[in-house]
Chain A
Amino acid sequence: MRIGSAGFRLSVLVIVLLCISCASQIGNRGSLNTTFQIGKTTKNDVANALGFPAKMKTDESSQLELWAYQSRPTLTSVIYALPIPGTTHAMIYNHPVINRHSDILKNAAVVYIFNNNGVLTAIQRNQ
């Protein structure tokens, strides 16, 4: 492919467009590998480092509070357009990907467990 040819220019355009595609900005505020100290770290510390969890649950019998974090935001649908053959129009498709209400606690990447004083007592990793 020669520099300046139509094919070259099209390739450059596609590469530039791919570079400006966006990354999701609603994921956890920090890495789920962040080190927290059991017996010392508080709910405040975890919330400040990671943001609030996808799910909170309090175990009534033990009074322990579970904070469940997902590894990444859930992909719910993909939207794309395809040209309609023989016309100048395009058809837009919206494909749902998964059930938005799946069990967050069961599918969580990490669950932080706090006692009733708000101090971290255990970490469960599901990866």
Chain B
Amino acid sequence: MKKRLLITFCAVLVVLTACASTNLRPEVGTKLKSGNVAAMFYMDHKTIDYDELVYKVLWNEKRQQLATFGSFWDIDKDLSNTLANTMGKIGISTKSVNQLLFDEDDYNALRLCIVDNKGPDGKNWPLTLTPGLQKQFKDLDVDYLVVLRTVSFSAEVNSMFKHILMRMPSILIIYDINNGKEEYRELFGMGGGHKYNKSARELEEDGLKQLKKLANQWIATAVEKQFPKTLSLATN
């Protein structure tokens, strides 16, 4: 019986290990820590995707509601700044891309490099910057570009317990400016639980005041808690 339990435990461990995301190679982590970094947050759709399970006793219903905030909140700039500031706190010399690329055309060119990188097979290809952007970053003495790209806010609402599980499912990309090579690409989860009083959409009150506060907190917490391990900084 003990043997069977041990085999089952080992099998579960193997499965869990396979699910865990990989970390940045330690040698790259060392260079990243000693170099200069540009940080960028980018959200594809500026929306909150509410998904709700409504309890109807004899059946349950799944309902969906989109809330589009679009240009109402410059989330990319706001969260790029938070990403850069928090990376600074954990010892990485970082500037937000908004502090480096003042020209709107340059910023849009960078955005396009990040968004339009699907190959003919429909899969994402490694990030490649245009020669112009590459040179610009080199001239600014930037060694690495760190990109957090997310699709939208996902809000899973449980109407029975007045609880929302908020998520910003993201991809973390690390690009070596000097070599012109993507060094890292992995899923990176951020988010947390939130209680509401009457409506799940209280998050949108006062020009998204609550959501802005939460999103900034998630980024800061994720960077402080996960980056040292993910970017192999702790081993340096």
B57: which of A17, A44, A76 is its contact (CB, 8 Å)? A17
B71 to chain A, nearest CB (A): 8
Asked if B57 and A52 make an inter-chain contact with CB atoms under 8 angstroms apart, the answer reads no
Contacts of A18 in B (CB 8 A): 57
Closest B residue to A93 by CB, please name it: B59
CA distance A25 to B205 in the complex (A): 15
Per-position contact with A for B54-73: 1 when CB-CB < 8 Å, else 0? 11111111111111111010
Asked if B58 and A80 sit within 8 Å, CB to CB, the answer is yes
- B38 contacts chain A at the CB level, 8 A cutoff: no
In the bound complex, do residue A44 and residue B63 qualify as a contact, i.e. CB atoms below 8 Å apart?
A: no
Query: When the two chains form their complex, are residues A51 and B70 in contact, meaning their CB atoms are under 8 A apart?
Result: no
Say if the beta carbon of A54 comes within 8 Å of chain B: yes
Residues of chain A within 8 A (CB-CB) of B59 are 78-80
Encoded as 1 (CB less than 8 Å from any B CB) or 0, chain A from 104 to 124 comes to 100000000000000000000
Q: How far is the CA of A20 from the CA of B54 in the complex (A)?
A: 11
- How far does the alpha carbon of A77 sit from the alpha carbon of B72 in the complex, in Å? 31
Instruction: State in angstroms the CA–CA spacing of A84 and B50 once bound together.
Output: 33
Whether the Cβ atoms of A51 and B54 lie closer than 8 Å is no
Check B160–A73 contact: CB distance below 8 A. Answer: no
Contact partners of A44 in chain B: CB under 8 A: 207
Pairwise interchain contact A77-B69, C-beta atoms closer than 8 A: no
A48 to B207, CA, bound (A): 7
Query: What 0/1 pattern do residues 204 to 216 of B give for CB contact below 8 A with A?
Result: 1111100000000
What is the total number of residues of chain B having a CB less than 8 Å from a CB of chain A?
38
Please measure, in the bound complex, the distance between the C-alpha atom of A51 and the C-alpha atom of B205, giving whole angstroms.
7
Per-residue CB contact flags for chain B residues 139-163 toward chain A (1 = under 8 Å, else 0) read 0000000000000000101011010
Given contacts A53-B68, A73-B64, A79-B61, A26 and B201 within 8 Å (CB-CB): yes
Question: Is the pair A21, B62 in contact by a Cβ cutoff of 8 Å?
Answer: no
Cα distance, A59 to B36, chains bound together (Å): 40
Given A24-B159, A26-B50, is A100 in contact with B63 using a C-beta cutoff of 8 Å?
no
Do the beta carbons of A43 and B72 come within 8 Å of each other? yes
Please measure, in the bound complex, the distance between the C-alpha atom of A37 and the C-alpha atom of B53, giving whole angstroms.
36
Which residues of B in the span 193-233 have a Cβ within 8 Å of any Cβ on A? 196, 198-201, 204-208
CB within 8 Å of B: which A6-57 residues: 17-18, 20-29, 43-44, 47-48, 51-56
- A: residues with CB less than 8 A from B are 17-18, 20-29, 43-44, 47-48, 51-56, 70, 73-80, 100, 104
Partner-A contacts on B (CB < 8 A): 48, 50-70, 72, 155, 157, 159-160, 162, 196, 198-201, 204-208
User: Would you give 10 A-B contacts (Cβ < 8 Å), ordered by A?
Assistant: A21-B56, A21-B57, A24-B61, A25-B162, A25-B199, A29-B204, A51-B201, A54-B67, A74-B63, A75-B61
Q: List 14 additional contacts besides A22-B54, A24-B63, A56-B70; criterion CB under 8 Å.
A: A21-B55, A23-B159, A28-B201, A52-B48, A52-B67, A54-B65, A55-B68, A73-B52, A74-B63, A74-B64, A74-B65, A78-B62, A79-B62, A80-B59
